[in-house]
Structure 1
Amino acid sequence: MDLQAVSGDDPREVLRAVRAAIDGAGPALGLGMVDTAPREVPAGTAVVVTTSGSTGIPKSVVLSRTALTAGARATAARIGEGAWLLALPASYVAGLQVLVRSIVSGREPTMLKGAFTPQAFAAAARDMASATGAREVPAYTSLVPAQLTKLLDAAEHDAAVGDALRSFEAILVGGQSLPAAVYDRARECGARIVRTYGSTETSGGCVYDGVPLDGVELRLVDGEVQVAGPTLADGYLDDPERTEATFVRDGDGTRWYRTGDAGVITDGVLAVRGRLDNVIISGGVNISLDRVEQVVRGVPGLANAVVVAVPDARWGEASVIVCARGNALRRSDADHLAAARSAVADEIGAHARPVRLVLLDEVATLASGKPDREAIRQAVRQTPH
């Protein structure tokens, strides 16, 4: 079948194209594609999402109608049905799934007018309430942690933003790990948060609060989280080698997606420990930067910190903590660094302690809201010690 490339800048254009693709009346939709030349894709394809994640390596993920709608229906079965607010770019899988859930439920999604701001979010939430008759229809939305943090900050002095957060039956938060401090703030505000885990290859979030959605299976192989179920992508467009390496079959023929994430499963509940490949060797010792970042984000004032690797003359590689200057840290930079180093030493070991704290005017992010780790590393390397 044919593939039609769409920029994704206009969410209403994406909604029309996705609806046609899912109904089988239109061509498959290509989102984020650099090469917009017409091409053929496998039958049953609804959307091809080109994404680089945080690694900078592009990959075009082929998602079928069956996979996308399976994810939407499993979400409704877990958290309930209702009306959805699109607050994320429609060109990324989390935003795309908001549209698919709306299509499957037979409801028109509400969309933010213009750029994401707390005020625009609050206005959209009010529009949803008036359109659906106040509380008669449950409302849902999906955010990334940076958006949630911005809303919580605004809610401290803008009651309308706090009311908007509390108006949703559930707010799905994914795309990256949600710092515990931000989660606690959201609960204190009265927001009902569901932490999600998934990727473009799983049609978005497929594990909610550590528990897989109906039909989704999890396993660990050499510490790597692997996922099976009806939400899996068909593979990567025009890249059979990557598809074969990433989607593997076991002896029973079950198809598993290798996430590249480290994790543990306790009593059926998944806890993700970070990327297997986000590891440095410092002084001859392997250190997971994701694990270091998780600990650092638990330090008051560092909930939005990013931890990246830099060359180090003594250790070969070392980690640094990066924050935006606008975070208004409550203690001195030295005190924050000391607190973070102490927390990391207690939780992981002295060998994993970050060597410094770097403040930037702005911490680079991708359009998905995730930290742009390569851009952050480059900025750190240009910052004087």
Structure 2
Amino acid sequence: MRLEAPASDDPRDVVRSLRAAVLGAGPAVALGGAGLLGDVPPGTAVVVTTSGSTGVPKSVVISRNALISSAYATAARIGEGAWLLAVPATYVAGVQVIVRALLADREPAVVAGPFRPEPFAAAALGMASHLDGARVPRYTSLVPAQLQRLLDAAEHDATVAQALRSFEAILIGGQALAPSVRERAEAAGARVVRTYGSSETSGGCVYDGVPLDGVGMAIVDGEVRLSGPTLAEGYLGDPERTASVFPRADGTRWYRTGDGGQIDDGVLHVTGRLDNVIVSGGVNVSLDRVEAAVRGIPGLESAVVVPIPDAAWGQGSAVVVPGIAASRERDLLAVIREVVGTAVGAPARPACVVAVDELPTLRSGKPDRAMLRRLVGEGGQNPRD
């Protein structure tokens, strides 16, 4: 099957290409990858290429059936209506916003250019609220950093606050949502739904810990695995990686997420990346658990924890905090070390705090962790007691 890129990364061009690929007989759409080559399986709708937060590129082949299954399962869970595209159209979250809108026979509203609260609010409130006398529910998909910016703006901008309240549901994915940010959203009247998934699952397929209809969950050797009709076909031109990441067991095809987690009474709790672990003084430390503890501290909801070398202990971690003065680093470190030591354990206490004006991000809105590791470099020694 032929694979073609849209005319540009402009959301409107992506919408046109996806309409042909998903609803018609158009070619499969190549997003995010330059000069992709190779055959794609019949029925492929899109190949999404992303380097992710670690800088390792991957081209994920997603079928038309997987996208449609995901979109219909989402509608069954949260309802159907009009969608606002505020995340990049070339990422799977953006693709799904477009597909959900197209399957509802609607054109998605679009927030163009760099994300800012004011244009988002204008686009949200400009969406049709009624059609033929019937109310039209509104939906959108955001990453946590976008939600936090909107909540900050809503404190002094009534229009942004109104826009947040106007959505039937705001899907939040891409990274963990700090509990304090979710509490702020609820206080502001925003109806937030945490989603879990990836390009390999056609986007979010577990909502607030509960899988969408048809999606299976299992924990194997501490790793979260997912199954069902939303799974991607695999990786373009990489059959070995496809076989490793999408194994079959007892007749079921599974996706190995690489995340640790547990399932309690049918609800999934993700504990973090299995490969985001350092060995500090002979002790395994999950940096995702460290980051979750740090983000629970008021004012540090956007902090990012990255690994650093440590001459004495082998590996340590640094906490990168945007929007603070460098003079606060030492005092913050003392608070962070106490909180992390209590929540995760003494070996997990970060070595240093690094103040930055703002976090570098990927186009998806996620923190660019590879760049942050380069930024932090060799700094910091772990001052253990």
TM-score, normalized by the shorter chain, greater than 0.5? yes
Moved more, 229-238 or 8-17: 8-17
The correspondence of residues 186-201 of structure 1 with structure 2, limited to 5 A, is: 186-201=185-200
For 1:379 and 1:134, locate their aligned partners in 2 and report how far apart those are by CA, in whole Å: 55
Q: Would the aligned equivalents of 1:6 and 1:32 in 2 still touch at CA under 8 Å?
A: no
Q: Would the aligned equivalents of 1:173 and 1:195 in 2 still touch at CA under 8 Å?
A: yes
Give the gaps of 5 or more residues in structure 2.
none
Q: Would the aligned equivalents of 2:295 and 2:303 in 1 still touch at CA under 8 Å?
A: yes
Match in the other structure for 2:351: 355
Change (3 A) 1:288 1:379: same
- 1:289 paired with 2:268, answer no
For 1:320 and 1:69, locate their aligned partners in 2 and report how far apart those are by CA, in whole Å: 42
Deviation at 1:34, TM superposition (A): 2.1
The correspondence of residues 21-170 of structure 1 with structure 2, limited to 5 A, is: 21-36=21-36, 39-129=38-128, 136-170=135-169
For 1:135 and 1:300, locate their aligned partners in 2 and report how far apart those are by CA, in whole Å: 42
For 2:334 and 2:133, locate their aligned partners in 1 and report how far apart those are by CA, in whole Å: 49
Deviation at 1:139, TM superposition (A): 0.2
Deviation at 1:57, TM superposition (A): 1.0
For 1:222 and 1:7, locate their aligned partners in 2 and report how far apart those are by CA, in whole Å: 44
The correspondence of residues 361-372 of structure 1 with structure 2, limited to 5 A, is: 361-372=357-368
Q: Would the aligned equivalents of 1:8 and 1:32 in 2 still touch at CA under 8 Å?
A: no
Deviation at 1:133, TM superposition (A): 8.1
Deviation at 1:371, TM superposition (A): 1.1
Change (3 A) 1:367 1:281: same
Match in the other structure for 2:210: 211
1:296-354 Cα offsets, whole Å, 9 max, x none, are: 10011111000000011111110110011x2579x943332222111111111111101
For 2:255 and 2:350, locate their aligned partners in 1 and report how far apart those are by CA, in whole Å: 33
329, 332, 357: which is aligned to 1:333? 329
Q: Would the aligned equivalents of 1:305 and 1:321 in 2 still touch at CA under 8 Å?
A: yes
The correspondence of residues 300-319 of structure 1 with structure 2, limited to 5 A, is: 300-319=298-317
Deviation at 1:134, TM superposition (A): 9.7
SS in 1 for 2:35: coil
SS in 2 for 1:233: coil
Change (3 A) 1:243 1:280: same
SS in 2 for 1:6: coil
1:134-168 Cα offsets, whole Å, 9 max, x none, are: 98100000000000011011111111001000000
SS in 2 for 1:33: coil
Change (3 A) 1:289 1:11: same
- Extract structure 1 runs of 4+ deviating beyond 4 A: 130-135, 382-385
Deviation at 1:25, TM superposition (A): 1.8
SS in 1 for 2:317: strand
Q: Percent identity?
A: 63
For 1:8 and 1:92, locate their aligned partners in 2 and report how far apart those are by CA, in whole Å: 14
Deviation at 1:40, TM superposition (A): 2.7
Q: Would the aligned equivalents of 2:318 and 2:380 in 1 still touch at CA under 8 Å?
A: no
Q: Would the aligned equivalents of 1:8 and 1:31 in 2 still touch at CA under 8 Å?
A: no
For 2:193 and 2:324, locate their aligned partners in 1 and report how far apart those are by CA, in whole Å: 25
Moved more, 129-138 or 300-309: 129-138
Q: Would the aligned equivalents of 1:9 and 1:90 in 2 still touch at CA under 8 Å?
A: yes
- 1:16 paired with 2:16, answer yes
Match in the other structure for 2:265: 267
SS in 1 for 2:127: helix
Q: Would the aligned equivalents of 1:32 and 1:49 in 2 still touch at CA under 8 Å?
A: yes
Q: Would the aligned equivalents of 2:306 and 2:373 in 1 still touch at CA under 8 Å?
A: yes
For 2:107 and 2:60, locate their aligned partners in 1 and report how far apart those are by CA, in whole Å: 26
Change (3 A) 1:135 1:313: farther
Number of positions where the alignment pairs a residue of Structure 1 with one of Structure 2: 381
For 2:36 and 2:246, locate their aligned partners in 1 and report how far apart those are by CA, in whole Å: 26
Deviation at 1:23, TM superposition (A): 2.2
- 1:344 paired with 2:340, answer yes
Match in the other structure for 2:225: 226
RMSD between aligned residues: 1.8
Deviation at 1:191, TM superposition (A): 0.3
For 2:153 and 2:238, locate their aligned partners in 1 and report how far apart those are by CA, in whole Å: 44
SS in 2 for 1:187: helix
For 2:109 and 2:134, locate their aligned partners in 1 and report how far apart those are by CA, in whole Å: 15
SS in 2 for 1:40: coil
1:214-258 Cα offsets, whole Å, 9 max, x none, are: 00000000000000000000000110000000000002x100000
SS in 2 for 1:368: coil
Q: Would the aligned equivalents of 2:325 and 2:355 in 1 still touch at CA under 8 Å?
A: no
Change (3 A) 1:123 1:379: same
Counterpart residue type for residue 282 of structure 2: G
Counterpart residue type for residue 306 of structure 1: V
Q: Would the aligned equivalents of 2:218 and 2:226 in 1 still touch at CA under 8 Å?
A: yes
Deviation at 1:10, TM superposition (A): 0.7
For 1:134 and 1:100, locate their aligned partners in 2 and report how far apart those are by CA, in whole Å: 25
Change (3 A) 1:133 1:342: farther
Give the gaps of 5 or more residues in structure 1.
none
